[in-house]
Amino acid sequence: IIALLLFAMTAVGITSGQLVSKQFENDNRRDLSQKSSTIVNELLNQFTPQNLFDGSQRELVNQRINEYARVFNSDLSLFDARGRLVNTSQPKLYALGLSADLVNPSPYYGIKNNRAYSGNVTETAGNLKYLSHYTPIYDEAKQLQGFINLPYFAKQSSLLRELSGIISALINVYLVLFMLSLGSGLVLSGYITQP
């Protein structure tokens, strides 16, 4: 009974951890997609798609990108239709070579060939892996003008806090079940061995 309970506790703990991690990742992807579309809509309310990539508007676009980066608590990068960096809220990342100044090829070709409206991809900077979302920007003639990129550095502390809460609740429940099974096992063995 005790071995069965320990096996069940381990199986439920592992399954719960995997489900919570997957749900956490799906929530991050959905939030990133919604945040990206909101930022694109706000930018297109203030600029035409061509003006976003026009050199004469660069300073004004840079101010807006920095403003949205603060409001949405996310880094923003703007790439032209050829996939080259035009503007960013974090120029130091690109200057130090921690991020490439070209669009990731996977979402670039997917969006450019109209196979996807937007793209999520896992990218790396050194040893750090993070989720990155690319949203295309089209003009009135449905011609691709460029991309906006939002990297998302998942807060592992939030995931760990959520996982530890679930696992501690499971441990509490299974500790009570373990004590009950141990007590019932002792009582049952006492009745069996009494004769």
Per residue in 28-45, pLDDT (tens digit) is 788 888 888 888 888 888
Q: What is the pLDDT of residues 114-168, one digit of tens each?
A: 655 667 777 776 676 777 888 888 888 888 888 888 887 765 556 667 777 777 7
State the chain's mean pLDDT as an integer. 79
Question: Contact 43/146 with Cβ under 8 angstroms?
Answer: no
What's the gap between Cα 31 and its chain centre? 8
Q: What is the pLDDT of residues 49-61, one digit of tens each?
A: 888 888 788 888 8
Question: Contact 134/141 with Cβ under 8 angstroms?
Answer: no
